[in-house]
Structure 1
Amino acid sequence: MAAALGTSPTIVEYFEGEDFYRCGYCKNETGSRSNGMWAHSMTVQDYQALIDRGWRRSGKYVYKPVMNQTCCPQYTIRCRPLHFQPSKSHKKVLKKMFKFLSKGEFSRGNNEEEPMDSQMDDAAVDDFVLKSKLDIQSDHRPLSEDYNEVVESEVKEKEENLETKETKELNQSHAKREKLGSGEPSRSVKVVPSAPKPGKGADLSKPPCRKAKDIRKERKRQKLILKSQTDKLEGSQIQHEPQSLPSEKPKLNQPKSVEDFIFDTLPEDAAHQLEFTRFLCSSPLEMRKLRLRVKRLVCLDEIWLQAENPPEGPDCGYGSFHQQYWLDGKIIAVGVIDVLPYCVSSVYLYYDPDYSFLSLGVYSALREIAFTRQLHEKTFQLSYYYMGFYIHSCPKMRYKGQYRPSDLLCPETYVWVPIEQCLSALESSKYCRFNQDTKAVDEERIKELDQLRVLYKRTVMPYNIYKKRQKGPSDEAIVQQYADLVGQTCSERMLLFRS
């Protein structure tokens, strides 16, 4: 067979749409349905093409939900790391990690459980737990610098406390005067203002105090005026500078990038040290070492994606990688990623539940986003971070949509649409076609089966030859379904195993 195959192509064994089975998200006993295939081998180019058509892998099994039939439609989601800025909740996780490493401080309370993308046997979850890549972190607030928010909140609190105290004292003074004026309606009492005793009442000789809201508005107005004057002054200075000496205007109040947080320098006397290692899943020695260290770590990825290291590719090459997180010499988490021609695809993360207070799911996702940006510097086309499936019908699975900007894959035309344009439609219907062009079709739809490649009796042949040699009932309907799901390009490049 090796001679017939030459190079190592993708070889898959397709299983037509299974019967309905129990949904791991809404727990419907007969609500979920998907198509699948077992990948005996897979190239990075073919897997990239498959995930861009809604496929997803679990180990060597590659599956695609039947979107218009399953109870919880699963839409492929990707983040655009080149424009990513950590949200307030992301910064909170990064700061928590830095505080723990530098000072050893942490809080185990109120740590929200991370959702699971796939189900596992309870017996297998003893020392380590298989969790999804990301935490549930809902944050709809606009991005801003934490420092400014803290300072403004402290000023606001002091202003409100001061105004509350002054208003209370003024109200007490008014109440006293009203009490003096109460009684029989025929009698009148003349209230003569007198100087208040020290520390008591309001000084009537001074203007009445203003509301805290008005004071804040005035201060904001003054800041805007000052900023406008400063900008004008800087603009006039820039105009008079020689063209050969461009001004270096300091970037004040610029939001910190995810790298600024992750790679912040720890103090020399840091309480803990976090080390990070990465190696190909196809390294037998490293796999054996890891299995010995993590005895109950289930289903570590076997050799699946064919490792490639072309000159124009990233320094680490393409393939499946294990990323290890070591805390003071102890392994606390292992993440699995696929480095593909156009993206880093997050598969899953194992972590020690004793360290769940560090929100390792969120932390690892942010590190992987930073890693994608790093790879992009060498390999320009590698510029996306795939996060698996987004499930809007399951509220606990909407967390991936908070890593923005991000896109969802249209399940009918396989084009990417910004998630903001999809949410209103998903609120109305579980299953949606995101492409608003009603005339648009799947550009990779199968045009003919004749050139589909088949592996039959250890020989590679086009489908039209296979049909002539096939014995027994025709399997054309199943082959047609497979071709429609993988698309024209993959059907002519991958080998469909037939027995």
Structure 2
Amino acid sequence: MYSIVEYKGKRTGYRCGYCNSHQGKGSNGMWAHSMTVQDYQDLIDRGWRRSGKYVYKPIMNQTCCPQYTIRCRSLHFQPSKSHKKVLKKMLRYLTKGETSKLNSEGEPMDSHTEDTGCNFLLKSEPDTSQSELEPLNIYTEKVESEKEEIKGEIIVTTDSGHTESCNEKVNASLSKPLNPAKVGHAPPKPGKGADLSKPPCRKAKDIRKEQKLQKHLQNQMGNHALQEKAQITQKSEPKTNQPKSIEDFIFVTLPPEAAHQLEVRLVRSSPPSSQFKATFQESYQVYKRYQMVIHKDPPDKPTASQFTRFLCDSPLEAENSPNGPDCGYGSFHQQYWVDGKIVAVGVIDILPKCVSSVYLYYDPDYSSLSLGVYSALREIAFTRQIHEKASDLSYYYMGFYIHSCPKMRYKGQYRPSDLLCPETYVWVPIEQCLPSLEHSKYCRFNLDAKAVDEGNVKELGRVRILHKRTVMPYSVYKRRRKGPSDEESVQQYATLVGQECSERMLLFKS
């Protein structure tokens, strides 16, 4: 099985769908008559992307909006606070029928066709990831040393053993004329002493110290009880503080009385399966409404043939492997059915190392459910599911990350994620790339100044050519060829696809 491609060369000076520049866009492209999943995997790892059967690569240092290939490390993905809100919103809708009053209007999306890219649609929400559970702070009151003197206050002990302040009585007596005979400490009358039936008088300072000591002991006992209770709770519920995964939200069992039922079906789109053919019209009608309402297309633009060429046709050959996913490799539509009708469709490619998102369209009536974000989270969970059978498949590719276009930065919220260096084709964590992108639209992410493209073409003569139904190396084709030399075009093609792909794929020459 061979990939057969026809190189179309460089195209510059056309309209950009991201910044609306009329002549700022530039890319190289080729038409793929057929392509193996391994060749396409290697191509997207060199910055290529498909739209239907057209495969293109932006000219990164010339185009107005550089498009960096982005991938999410799905096995380590943890949903952010905003992601959890979307998952909970869907769960409330399914169980209780509740919908948000505000529609998710203005979701950013890669809606541009063929030469400009048609990547994934997601909702842009601020990532306010925070711990939802605050740590338990046990406060212990400290007994401070008794430094201050108690002035102007007399504490007495009553017959019942209670203490009371005499300040109020003293203050009341100050309003009356002073009796000189009662000022000061009068000596006891002869023959009478302390009443032994009553407790002896004590200093206010001593009583205050005793009260604080008792309060301190009570607090210590109470805090000790709280600590014991916390320890018992942790032992009995060890997973309470564990962060929930996307699977905990997505694959929860709905109650029998749930308001709605959601079913996600995976159908092969190329070659079209019987299930795909049976649902084609319904799926197309959802796409048509989506383009008209969300993208303001005129009714005659989203035709069935345009839909087929854009989102159904694929150059990828269907493949199966003993160590691969049960569904096989290739191009698929992931259909979201609610109560027996299609409400959204995610177009994806399943490749040897990743699930690659192509596009998402949905019924505008369900905009409030943030289906762009929800479907992306479902596809990350789907990638993790496939990984259990196909151990090499562990990444979720989200298309292009465009930092120069603010509404397209939402893909950076799905972390941990990496961006592809446009010069050396190595993956770099996005956190290391963002500071450079703030200063320049085009950046080389590889910090090693001596690093080069290891996959660059080294032997042009080994490039495979398909000419008159015959496969031959370029060195042979070059000797047989009549007319002007095409070496510059072949050199450009081989440099862009890399040595390995240029030796495996067949470059068609008429």
| Range class of TM-score, shorter chain | 0.7 to 0.9
In structure 2, the residue matched to 1:159 is: none
Aligned counterpart for 1:138 among listed residues 99, 121, 126? 126
After TM superposition, where is structure 1 displaced by more than 4 Å over at least 4 residues in a row?
222-231
In structure 2, the residue matched to 1:82 is: 75
In structure 1, the residue matched to 2:9 is: 16
Are residue 292 (structure 1) and residue 292 (structure 2) matched?
no
Q: What is the distance in 2 between the residues matched to 1:305 and 1:193?
A: 97
In structure 2, the residue matched to 1:101 is: 94
What is the identity percentage for the equivalent residue pairs of Structure 1 and Structure 2?
Answer: 68
Q: What is the distance in 2 between the residues matched to 1:453 and 1:316?
A: 31
Q: CA 1:11–1:265 in 2, change beyond 3 Å: closer, same or farther? A: same
Q: Is the 8 A contact 1:115 1:132 kept in 2?
A: no
How far 1:288 moved relative to its partner? 2.3
In structure 1, the residue matched to 2:336 is: 325
In structure 2, the residue matched to 1:26 is: 19
Are residue 398 (structure 1) and residue 417 (structure 2) matched?
no
In structure 1, the residue matched to 2:479 is: 468
Q: Unaligned stretches of 5+ in structure 1?
A: 1-7, 122-129, 153-191, 195-221, 236-246
Structure 1 residues 5-404: aligned runs within 5 Å: 8-119=1-112, 132-139=120-127, 141-145=128-132, 148=133, 250-281=238-269, 282-296=271-285, 297=287, 298-299=307-308, 300-404=311-415
Q: CA 1:248–1:341 in 2, change beyond 3 Å: closer, same or farther? A: farther
How far 1:77 moved relative to its partner? 0.2
Q: What is the distance in 2 between the residues matched to 1:388 and 1:324?
A: 20
Please give the TM-score of this superposition, normalised by the length of structure 1. Answer: 0.76
Q: CA 1:387–1:432 in 2, change beyond 3 Å: closer, same or farther? A: same
Deviations along 1:407-427, whole A, 9 cap, x unmatched? 000000000000000000000
In structure 2, the residue matched to 1:167 is: none
Q: What is the distance in 2 between the residues matched to 1:234 and 1:347?
A: 47
How far 1:133 moved relative to its partner? 2.8
How far 1:251 moved relative to its partner? 2.1
Q: What is the distance in 1 between the residues matched to 2:451 and 2:382?
A: 35
Q: Is the 8 A contact 1:131 1:361 kept in 2?
A: no
Q: Is the 8 A contact 2:95 2:258 kept in 1?
A: yes
Q: Is the 8 A contact 1:390 1:401 kept in 2?
A: yes
How far 1:304 moved relative to its partner? 2.4
Q: What is the distance in 2 between the residues matched to 1:413 and 1:228?
A: 57
Q: Unaligned stretches of 5+ in structure 2?
A: 137-169, 173-221, 288-306
Q: CA 1:353–1:87 in 2, change beyond 3 Å: closer, same or farther? A: same
Q: What is the distance in 1 between the residues matched to 2:347 and 2:59?
A: 26
Q: Is the 8 A contact 1:133 1:346 kept in 2?
A: no
Q: Is the 8 A contact 2:267 2:273 kept in 1?
A: no
Are residue 486 (structure 1) and residue 508 (structure 2) matched?
no
AA aligned opposite 1:398? R
How far 1:229 moved relative to its partner? 10
How far 1:79 moved relative to its partner? 0.2
Which secondary structure does the structure 1 equivalent of 2:42 belong to? Answer: helix
Q: What is the distance in 2 between the residues matched to 1:391 and 1:411?
A: 13
CA RMSD in angstroms comes to 2.8
Q: What is the distance in 1 between the residues matched to 2:337 and 2:467?
A: 47
Which secondary structure does the structure 2 equivalent of 1:294 belong to? Answer: helix
Q: What is the distance in 2 between the residues matched to 1:84 and 1:75?
A: 20
Which secondary structure does the structure 2 equivalent of 1:136 belong to? Answer: coil
Larger radius of gyration: 2
AA aligned opposite 2:475? N
Q: Is the 8 A contact 1:115 1:131 kept in 2?
A: no
How far 1:349 moved relative to its partner? 1.0
Please give the TM-score of this superposition, normalised by the length of structure 2. Answer: 0.74
Q: CA 1:356–1:223 in 2, change beyond 3 Å: closer, same or farther? A: farther
AA aligned opposite 2:254? L
Q: What is the distance in 2 between the residues matched to 1:14 and 1:224?
A: 76
